[in-house]
Amino acid sequence: DTAVSQTPKYLVTQMGNDKSIKCEQNLGHDTMYWYKQDSKKFLKIMFSYNNKELIINETVPNRFSPKSPDKAHLNLHINSLELGDSAVYFCASSLSSGSYEQYFGPGTRLTVT
């Protein structure tokens, strides 16, 4: 009964490839997020969706394309992977009103070689 789950946990791939990371939450939340944690452990917001609608799109290369098929899912597709994309990607979810506590997934460690 994991609250926020991500697949895969680890992803090793070569430069130039295209890959996807999936996220699912069973908390009934209406807002989902993607964060990137770099090698220095710094966490930064990338995207946020509310009820399948994109509401935050930070300065992220357009090789990154999020997709939210429904409120419970938020996927991240990355085209033409580069070495600098290596990081841990965290999915999170929350309600858009009331408590803004965000629940995080376990993270996906992406290594681009």
Partner 1 sequence: AQRVTQPEKLLSVFKGAPVELKCNYSYSGSPELFWYVQYSRQRLQLLLRHISRESIKGFTADLNKGETSFHLKKPFAQEEDSAMYYCALSGHTGRRALTFGSGTRLQVQP
Report helix, strand or coil for 83: helix
**Tokens 């452990």, located at residue:** 41
Q: Residue 41, interface with partner 1 (CB under 8 A)?
A: yes
Q: Which of 28, 40, 53, 84 binds partner 1 (CB under 8 A)?
A: 40
104 counts as binding partner 1 under rule CB under 8 A: yes
Judged by beta carbon, residue 64 or residue 105, the one nearer partner 1 is: 105
Return the number of the residue (5 or 86) whose C-beta is nearest partner 1.
5
Give me the torsion for CA of 8, 70, 94, 67, rounded to 10°.
60
Residue 103 neighbours by CB under 8 Å, 6+ apart:
3, 4, 25, 27, 29, 92, 93, 94
Under rule CB under 8 A, residue 71 binds partner 1: no
Among residues 43, 59, 63, 89, the one that binds partner 1 under rule CB under 8 A: 43
Cis link prior to 8 (omega < 30° from 0)? yes
Residue 39 binds partner 1 (CB under 8 A): no
Residues that bind partner 1 (CB under 8 A): 4, 31, 33, 35, 40-45, 48, 50, 55-56, 90, 92, 94, 96, 100-107
